[in-house]
């Protein structure tokens, strides 16, 4: 059985391995053992905190294969970004150059450095090992976060965003960053990405161009990847689009990958999930259903096949599933089709 749960101190070796496997462009899990330990510490303290509004909390989850005990993936939520360190994006917009005298009218795309998403909740740190990219594992890893947000909405902002990994090659080379490096920086993309991941962001404010960048002045390769995702990220962005997330012109300042956003109440899983009473038995049916208990530090979620009707008042689950989700007969569980 695949179970999503909050990360624990004992998951440190698994997180180090995942950080190594995730490769370039995965800024939220830098390959730095000291910082990975700090991430675990921060997550454990965030779950234990009695928060009544979004702050600097960071919630990190892991996906565990209960048959082997192996941690096979991670996903996370930052309650409110940009409160301690500036949270940068480029915003893609247009300016009009026109002259009635010369009968010239031209719309030009520009990129403007901004901090527009300060205070938003961010979905982050989504990674699933190759061998487990099947069945409903990816959906469980991603959508369980929405169940957690639904159950603890006071901890999160009304706007939820997700930065999607932009285009880069196997060596971590980004066409967009190549242009910036040539004109403004003297460091390669993996180095810049790593420095951001470990929290050293001051170089962005010091070296990033302060004025809007005319897109047509960029190299053709750089222009071509603005707002585009890495091939490995396509399933993730399609899943978020199906949840109601949209792209509104904000891109990453390093690889120009898109940032998508949604209001909490418009996210499909949050909108559709209902509360049901738990019954213990032998369920029938083959509809894949996302189940999550309604706890905080003991939050658990999984996907199981069953007969499902949102008009039902109760759901039948096996004793094994109930134990895995820390549930007993009569408890309340959140559920929705996946």
User: Where are any strands of DSSP class E within the chain?
Assistant: 2-6, 58-65, 70-78, 89-99, 104-114, 121-128, 159-163, 213-214, 246-251, 258-263, 274-280, 287-292, 301-306, 314-317, 332-337
Long-range CB contacts (within 8 A, 24+) of 244-251: 244/268, 245/160, 245/162, 249/91, 249/92, 249/93, 250/89, 250/90, 250/91, 250/92, 250/114, 250/116, 250/117, 251/89, 251/90, 251/91, 251/92, 251/111, 251/166, 251/226, 251/227
Q: Which of 24, 89, 152, 230 is catalytic?
A: 230
Burial class (CB in 10 A: 0-12, 13-18, 19+), 206: exposed
Q: Which two tokens stand for residue 213?
A: 């960048």
Q: Identify the three-state secondary structure at position 217.
A: helix
Among the listed residues 115, 116, 256, the one whose alpha carbon sits nearest the alpha carbon of residue 189: 256
User: Catalytic site residue 275?
Assistant: no
DSSP tag of 225: T
Q: Identify the three-state secondary structure at position 106.
A: strand
Helix (H) or strand (E) holding 180: helix 175-183
Among the listed residues 110, 124, 240, 220, the one whose alpha carbon sits nearest the alpha carbon of residue 175: 220
Among the listed residues 103, 113, 15, the one whose alpha carbon sits nearest the alpha carbon of residue 63: 15
Which residue(s) pair with 65 in the sheet?
2, 70
Cite the active site residues: 230
């Amino acid at each position: 059985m695949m179970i999503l749960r909050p990360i624990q101190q004992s998951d440190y070796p698994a997180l180090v391995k995942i950080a190594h496997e995730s490769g370039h462009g995965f800024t939220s899990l830098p390959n730095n053992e000291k910082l990975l330990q700090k991430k675990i510490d921060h997550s454990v303290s965030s779950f234990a905190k009695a928060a009544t509004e979004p702050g600097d909390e960071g919630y990190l989850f892991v996906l565990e294969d209960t048959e082997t005990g192996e941690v096979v993936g991670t996903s996370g939520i930052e309650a409110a970004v940009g409160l301690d360190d500036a949270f940068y994006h480029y915003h893609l917009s247009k300016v009009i150059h026109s002259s009635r005298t010369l009968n010239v009218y031209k719309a030009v795309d520009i990129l403007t450095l901004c901090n527009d998403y300060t205070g938003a909740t961010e979905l982050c740190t989504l990674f699933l090992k190759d061998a487990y990219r099947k069945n409903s594992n990816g959906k469980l890893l991603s959508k369980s976060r929405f169940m957690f947000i639904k159950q603890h909405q006071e901890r999160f902002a009304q706007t939820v965003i997700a930065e999607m990994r932009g285009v880069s090659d196997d060596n971590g080379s980004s066409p967009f960053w190549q242009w910036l490096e040539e004109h403004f920086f003297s460091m390669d993309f993996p180095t810049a990405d790593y420095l951001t991941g470990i929290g050293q962001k001051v170089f962005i404010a010091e070296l990033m161009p302060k004025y809007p960048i005319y897109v047509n002045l960029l190299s053709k390769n750089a222009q071509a990847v603005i707002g585009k995702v890495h091939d490995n990220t396509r399933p993730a962005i399609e899943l978020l689009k199906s949840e109601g997330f949209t792209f509104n012109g904000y891109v990453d300042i390093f690889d120009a990958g898109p940032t998508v956003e949604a209001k909490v109440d418009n996210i499909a899983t949050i909108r559709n999930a209902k509360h049901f009473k738990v019954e213990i038995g032998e369920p029938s049916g083959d509809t894949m259903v996302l189940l999550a208990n309604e706890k905080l530090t003991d939050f658990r979620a999984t996907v199981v096949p069953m007969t499902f009707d949102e008009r039902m008042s109760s759901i039948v689950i096996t004793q094994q599933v109930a134990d895995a989700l820390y549930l007993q007969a009569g408890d309340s569980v959140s559920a929705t089709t996946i």
